[in-house]
Amino acid sequence: MSTDTYSDILKLNKELGQSMSTNNRYEVAVLSNIMTTQLKEILEYYLRREGIYADVVFGDYDNIVQDSCKFKDRNCIIIVWELGNIIDGFYYKANTMEKDELEDVILKTKNEIDFVLANLKSTSLVLINKFSSLIYSYPYIRQNNLDEAARALNSYLEMRISANMILIDVDKVLAKVSIDKSIDLRFYYSSKSLYSIDYYKEYMKFVKPIFMFASGKVKKAMIFDCDNTLWKGIVGEEGLQGISMSARNTEGIVYEEVQYLALELAQKGIIIGLCSKNNPEDVDDVIKNHSDMTLKDQHILIKKVNWDDKITNLKSTARELNIRLDSFVFVDDSEFEANLVKEGLPDITVLQVPKKLFEYPKLIRENIGLFFNISNTVEDKRKIQMYKEQSQREQSKESFNSIEGYLKSLELKVSVYEDKVELIPRMSQMTQKTNQFNLTSRRYTEGDIARFLEESKYRNFTFSVNDKFGDYGVAGLVILELNELNNTAIIDSFLMSCRIIGRNIEYAFFDFLVEKLRFQNINSIEAVYIKSPKNEMAANFYENIGFGIIKTVDNTKYYNLKMENYKSKLIDYVEITDGK
């Protein structure tokens, strides 16, 4: 698909636009001090292809400061601040400048940066290209004024940006495309347009994971086949000593590198799993007893080693971990197996070990962006442990006759927190990543959440859950807007992380919430359910507890509940308390 020509992109982008629903646009504004006309359709196309209906507008030429105010309410702002043009002709004037002249230009730009960052501090997502001197100064052996300006401005940016802003290291994009192929000076002299089509395509490949994350489309698990995927050789035939995954062997070294990449992901809280046609004892033997294995039992969360087909195994992996198949990446050396999974489970991203084995680590590395995560929270680091506990719970489920009996035995405890500032990153993350039990699927940045906490008309509850097997962490969120004039509460967002679904916690929590609101003389609650491709499971939640439907418009159901009509599910096995 990366081979689509610009002409194809223009045509396909228009067609995708016509086929997509218009009520869920993702609005992007590009602010720049050069012309970036071709970025529009290329950006739109790369995102529309992933189901994100992007729509790009441009600010006026060289008007970044003024436009940062005008466009701040878009879903995303991209700032393309070209170093060579921070003043007219800077790229050819800079090296003639005296130190104080150069300082003046840098200071002027820093002041502009301050304005822009202040204007955009509440925008959901801001991508800021780092200043780059590379395309101008690459032939110079010594550091020159352009390098110095780029360094000063970038370290200033790093100091000043807030949590909703991400700096994009465009040098990495330039390196991939090459400077010669990135720059098209013909149109710079005539129209201040500097970059090539190839550059914009590569730029979009580089930043796409950020948009995927912001739209709740993120990969959570990497599942490996074993033979010739995690190690060289076939353990069932060649035995423990016949296989290799160490630097002492010219092919084994490739597998050592891949195992380290998998370890890197495991340490970030990505699920690493196995799905392999093998005797389970053979594979266990390798993991426990082969001294060259980098991945150990504690890194591998789930093992489906048997002779069943891989589609069945991957489906049951998804079920047991309670995550969706489209959050899987699957790696296999067999073309047959890879194609089978691609066809049978088209939502899964499938990587096949390349025929040229030395390209295998590169393939894994190039896909690491799929697991991109804006903030690193404590929850991420604890995730592996939590998923392990989930598997244990699934297994103990089987020994109970009724789900009720099982849930009672869990000794579920819920702690509710209100307006807790320390939880802002986690709250934002939950709105970004929760898809299934999410009544409105509204995505908020940390800046958005901080605003809800500041404004007194909002009440923001989060809750954490634990049971006798362990701690699920902070896993639920409600944002309420109060209208004290008519004693009404409006539910802006209500969501629960998938790892606590199926325990009736939502019903128990709602009892608690209704009690709190009654105490505040609230006598009715308004709510909506906005249907998304993934939240079917929550479609009838409000009906189940006594809400009445007022109207249904497109994919949205509007509800109202008079407090006296509230139907509690009388869940008596979840203990709910105010958290500290």
Partner 1 sequence: MESRIKNVMASVFEVDSSQINNDTSPDTLESWDSLKHMNLILALEEEFGVEFDNDDITNMINFNLILLILKEKA
Residues that bind partner 1 (CB under 8 A): 5-8, 10-11, 14, 35, 37-38, 184, 186-187, 190-191, 193, 196-197
Least gap, CB of 56 to partner 1 (angstroms): 14
The two beta strands, 76-80 and 125-129, are parallel
Q: Which is nearer to partner 1, 205 or 290 (CB)?
A: 205
Q: Which is nearer to partner 1, 49 or 420 (CB)?
A: 49
Least gap, CB of 67 to partner 1 (angstroms): 18
Q: Which is nearer to partner 1, 42 or 302 (CB)?
A: 42
Cα(207)–Cα(170) distance, integer angstroms: 10
Q: Are 478 and 461 in contact (CB under 8 A)?
A: yes
Least gap, CB of 38 to partner 1 (angstroms): 6
Least gap, CB of 181 to partner 1 (angstroms): 12
Least gap, CB of 543 to partner 1 (angstroms): 45
Residue 116, SS3 per DSSP = helix
Q: For residue 452, give the amino acid letter.
A: F
Q: Which is nearer to partner 1, 12 or 340 (CB)?
A: 12
Cα(422)–Cα(156) distance, integer angstroms: 26
Q: Which is nearer to partner 1, 197 or 528 (CB)?
A: 197
Three-state SS sequence of 523-552: CEEEEEEECCCCCHHHCCHHHHCCCEEEEE
Q: Which is nearer to partner 1, 161 or 197 (CB)?
A: 197
Instruction: Write out the two tokens for 515.
Output: 């009690």
Least gap, CB of 132 to partner 1 (angstroms): 22
Radius of gyration, alpha carbons of the chain:
27
Q: Which is nearer to partner 1, 39 or 221 (CB)?
A: 39
Q: Which residues of 261-277 are buried (b: 16+ CB within 10 A; e: fewer)?
A: bbeebbeebbbbbbbbb
Residue 517, SS3 per DSSP = helix
Instruction: Write out the two tokens for 434.
Output: 């929760």
Cα(550)–Cα(119) distance, integer angstroms: 39
Q: Are 341 and 330 in contact (CB under 8 A)?
A: yes
Least gap, CB of 202 to partner 1 (angstroms): 14
Which single residue is written with the structure tokens 């822009």? 116
Least gap, CB of 560 to partner 1 (angstroms): 45
Q: Which is nearer to partner 1, 35 or 113 (CB)?
A: 35
State the angle between helix axes of 335-344 and 310-321 in degrees (0 to 180), rounded to the nearest 10. Answer: 60
Cα(197)–Cα(202) distance, integer angstroms: 9
- Residue 63 CB-density burial (10 A; 0-12 exposed, 13-18 middle, 19+ buried): middle
Least gap, CB of 196 to partner 1 (angstroms): 8
Q: Which is nearer to partner 1, 200 or 452 (CB)?
A: 200
